[in-house]
Amino acid sequence: MKRKSSNEDLHKANVAKKDEFYTQLVDIEKELKYYKKQFYGKVVYCNCDDPFESNFFKYFAANFNSLGLKKLITTSYNKSPIAGRQLPLFEMEGLKPIKPSAPLKDNGDFRSEECIKLLKEADIVVTNPPFSLFREYVTQLVEHKKKFLIMGNQNAITYKEIFKLIKENKMWLGQSLNGKNILFQIPDYYESYYKIIDGKKYAFPKGVVWFTNFDVPKRSEELVLYKKYDKKEYPKFDNYDAINIDRTEQIPMDYTGVMGVPITFLHKYNPDQFEIVGLGNSRDNFTPNKNYQNPYKILRDGTKQNGNAINCVLAIESKIKPDGIYYISDNSKYLIAPYARILIRNKKII
């Protein structure tokens, strides 16, 4: 269904906090196949997973022996308990038959004391956490020094805390799912959905990626570069000494300085080849005249719209903040800010 304002949808999503998305088994299998050896003898905890619905649970239960797991624990958030289906805590150990343990006293929130206790017991956490709580979720994993493989939205890369972890090489993207759309089953009561298959509603969100701190093959593959640096083709930002690059594949092979690349660059990121310097944020592409007197922004169709003078002046005058707002010069009149840019440097040619 087509809507007039995309902002309306964004805003709704911001408020709704609908987080019951069930990952398909096929997507789990596609990623987990790269980590098999690393699960041997480990305690795996899926802390956002109802075993009746979760394919993470199904995957680990079915592959318990072949992976050589020591123990599998799942807990789920019990927002609206359905009679007879309460199973917030589930444990599986060794070759014992599957059986539920004593139920949790609390609601199964991953932040609850009970769940943190289980987290401490675990070696590895694998799940698709609520995106609306993504930062909190990751912070908790890092705090407890867990190995993890979790799903998230590609925009989370630009969240301050998340980016910090990526920059410090404490977290990176998984092997599969390069930010493409994938199907998730959603509860019947969700009003908007992408399509219905066999009577079940599915969503098809964009930019889904895996985040992990496990070693993945693509992280040690070198990105092959073929373009040569050309001053005209790669303009510099007005207030930061870096060139702008619109597509990852266009990164020049011979530029030694800082380069601003799209966030999707992370799918090709090899820390031996590149160093991440910072994040350029693109908010407010206001385009004042050079005196900053009459700020306005240029819309896609070329028309002007009045802007916010304070935002504008601050953005332009805020020279170089490590993670500030950078502008690129189109010509002497206009300034155009690209979307978020990861600032990188090629380590191999310095």
Partner DNA sequence: ATTGCGATATCATGTGTAGA
Partner DNA sequence: TCTACACATGATATCGCAAT
Taking CB under 7 A as the criterion, the residue among 172, 338, 343, 344 binding DNA is 338
Query: Is 53 among the residues that bind DNA (CB under 7 A)?
Result: no
Indicate the DSSP class of residue 4.
S
Site string for DNA, 195-234 (x = CB under 7 A): --------x-xxxx--------------------------
Residue 12 vs 333, nearer CB to DNA: 12
Q: Are 274 and 345 in contact (CB under 8 A)?
A: yes
| Whole-angstrom distance, CA of residue 223 vs CA of residue 253 | 10
Question: What per-residue string of b and e applies to 252-274 under the rule 16 or more CB within 10 Å gives b?
Answer: beebeebbbbbbbbbbbbeeebb
| Whole-angstrom distance, CA of residue 20 vs CA of residue 186 | 6
Taking CB under 7 A as the criterion, the residue among 62, 197, 314, 349 binding DNA is 314
Residues 277-296 interacting with DNA (rule: CB under 7 A): 281-283, 285
How would DSSP label each residue in 190-251? -S--SEEETTEEEE--S-EEEEESS--GGGGSPPP--BPP-TTTSPBBSSSSEEE-SSGGG-
How distant, in Å, are the alpha carbons of 7, 33, 184, 214 from that of 27?
30, 10, 10, 17
Query: Is 264 among the residues that bind DNA (CB under 7 A)?
Result: yes
Which of 61-69, 94-102, 217-225, 308-316 is the region at the interface with DNA (rule: CB under 7 A)?
Answer: 308-316
Which of 27-35, 65-73, 109-117, 177-185 is the region at the interface with DNA (rule: CB under 7 A)?
Answer: 177-185
Residue 51 vs 64, nearer CB to DNA: 51
Output Rg (C-alpha) for the chain, integer angstroms. Answer: 23
Side chain identity at residue 288, one-letter code: P
C-alpha 225 chain-centroid distance? 25
Which of 51-59, 88-96, 114-122, 178-186 is the region at the interface with DNA (rule: CB under 7 A)?
Answer: 178-186
Query: Is 79 among the residues that bind DNA (CB under 7 A)?
Result: no
Taking CB under 7 A as the criterion, the residue among 6, 66, 293, 303 binding DNA is 6
Which of 61-69, 87-95, 113-121, 149-157 is the region at the interface with DNA (rule: CB under 7 A)?
Answer: 149-157
Query: Is 169 among the residues that bind DNA (CB under 7 A)?
Result: no
Residue 71 vs 268, nearer CB to DNA: 268
- Least separation, in Å, of the C-beta of 304 and DNA? 12
Place of tokens 């090489």: 169
Taking CB under 7 A as the criterion, the residue among 299, 304, 306, 330 binding DNA is 299
Contacts by residues 241-248 (CB-CB < 8 Å, ≥ 24 positions apart): 242/280, 242/326, 242/343, 244/328, 244/338, 244/341, 246/338, 248/223
- How many residues sit in the footprint of DNA (CB under 7 A)? 65
β-strand partners of 306: 296
Residue 220 vs 318, nearer CB to DNA: 318
Q: Are 172 and 276 in contact (CB under 8 A)?
A: no
Paired tokens of 280: 């350029």
What is the contact surface with DNA in residues (CB under 7 A)? 2-3, 5-7, 9-19, 21, 128-132, 134-135, 151, 153, 155-156, 158-161, 178-181, 184, 192, 203, 205-208, 246-248, 262, 264-265, 267, 281-283, 285, 299-300, 310-311, 314-315, 318, 323, 337-339
